[in-house]
Amino acid sequence: MPEFFNSEFNSESQLLRHSVTQKKMNQIKIFCPATVANLSCGFDVLGLCLEGIGDEMIIRKSEQKGLRITKITGADLPLETEKNVAGVAGMALLNHLDLEFGFEIEIHKNIKAGSGIGSSSASAAGIVVGINEILGNPLSRKELISFAMVGEFLASGSYHADNVAPAILGGFTLVRGYDPLEVIKINSPKDIYLTIIHPHIEVKTSEARTILPKEIPLKTAITQWGNLGGFISGLYTEDYGLMSRCLQDVVAEPYRKNLIPEFDTIKIIALENGALGCGISGSGPSIFAMSKGKDTAENVGNQMKQIYTKTGIGFDVYVSKVCDMGVKVV
């Protein structure tokens, strides 16, 4: 179990945790949002929550201890708890809570696995928030992040939180540190819109991570952390010019872009049509463009469609605001 696992627990939630003896409700239906991680300059630390794109999950209390997945629609994923992202994340939370009862879950996937918009993290975030809601929220949303990361580890072989943090907290989030885990929710300017193109090819996060160099030159690191600091500053001061200058990735994009057909063309067209920046969403193959205003974001989406139609590869295009809520009860 990683060091960060028990970080950020406070005495208040510890007390609440031990008072979880009774059900607050028997069943809950939740919406588990898609996310964009990395955001060019924040590899493994920066992410945002999308609006209207996501999975649904039904979680019901059961007398039998543990967690059983009774149904999955929309994706060919394992029903075995220990092989399923939601299953292992949920069990990590249940092992911590040590309850006398258990849960059954139905997962209805809309976010395709390997799409780059946080399919695994939607499941991992959804189950921990859902169980916590049924129990009357003994843990804070921030405290739930480390449990959801167990699901991310199963999916990718890496304990990163840049998708699960915005899925749980909503808005823009920054992982300030992993050891111990510290996540900060960042100001989210209201005019920011995302355009996402999801080419229908699969890029496994685990594979997209193995192609990255284990070490980077100091010059590269200086460029990346300058841009990350600048981007965070731009979000707080709502300085769109600064945000735009900072949306660059010199760490992962040079390697990963080769996995995504027409990445360079999409990026050029997005920037020519007024996007503040454009990069790989998570580990790809989805590409995001960030714009000021919905009209620009929609125009960028139309331009992206024209490029991708010529490739013969199926695709979806979404335009979304940044959602401030994260996983929500529906």
CB-side neighbour CA atoms (13 Å) of 311: 17
Q: Does 245 bind ligand HSE (CB under 6 A)?
A: no
Is-catalytic flag, 152? Answer: yes
Burial class (CB in 10 A: 0-12, 13-18, 19+), 11: exposed
Report in angstroms how near the CB of residue 36 gets to ligand HSE at its nearest.
9
* Dist. CA 246–CA 279, nearest whole Å: 12
Site for ligand HSE in 38-57 (CB under 6 A): 38, 44
Q: Does 112 bind ligand HSE (CB under 6 A)?
A: no
Does the annotation mark 309 as catalytic? Answer: no
> Considering beta carbons, is residue 224 or 303 the nearer one to ligand HSE?
224
Do residues 247 and 232 touch, judged by C-beta distance below 8 A? no
User: Which is closer to ligand HSE, CB of 59 or CB of 145?
Assistant: 145
Structure tokens at 9: 């627990």
Strands 46-62, 287-292: pairing kind = unpaired
**Is the dihedral angle over the CA atoms 87, 90, 93, 96 positive or is it negative?**
negative
Cβ distance 170 to 326 under 8 Å? yes
Shortest Cβ distance from residue 183 to ligand HSE (Å)? 14
Task: Please identify which residue in 204, 209, 245, 294 interacts with ligand HSE, judged by CB under 6 A.
Answer: 209
Does residue 156 belong to the site contacting ligand HSE (CB under 6 A)? Answer: yes
CB 325, CB 30: distance < 8 Å: no
Q: How many CB atoms lie within 10 A of CB 137?
A: 15
Q: Does 224 bind ligand HSE (CB under 6 A)?
A: no
DSSP string covering 182-218, please? EEEEEP--TTEEEEEEEES----HHHHHHTS-SS--H
Q: Which amino acid is at 269?
A: I
Stretch that binds ligand HSE, among 3-11, 76-84, 160-168, 317-325 (CB under 6 A): 160-168
* Residue placing its CB nearer to ligand HSE in the complex, 20 or 122: 122
- Comparing CB distances to ligand HSE, the nearer of 28 and 246 is 246
**Is 35 an interacting residue with respect to ligand HSE (CB under 6 A)?**
no
Q: Are 292 and 91 in contact (CB under 8 A)?
A: no
Q: Which of 35, 173, 195, 205 is catalytic?
A: 205
The answer to whether 164 contacts ligand HSE (rule: CB under 6 A) is no
| Per-residue contact string for residues 281-310; x = within reach of ligand HSE by CB under 6 A | -xx---------------------------
Applying CB under 6 A, does 143 fall inside the site for ligand HSE?
Answer: no
Question: In 221-330, where do the E strands start and end?
Answer: 277-280, 287-292, 315-321, 328-329
> Which window, 170-178, 194-202, 204-212, 241-249, contacts ligand HSE (CB under 6 A)?
204-212
Which of 51, 143, 162, 262 is in the footprint of ligand HSE by CB under 6 A? 162
In the complex with ligand HSE, which residue's Cβ is closer, 123 or 299? 123
Residues with catalytic roles: 152, 205
Chain residues in the site for ligand HSE (CB under 6 A) = 37-38, 44, 156, 160, 162-163, 205, 208-209, 282-283
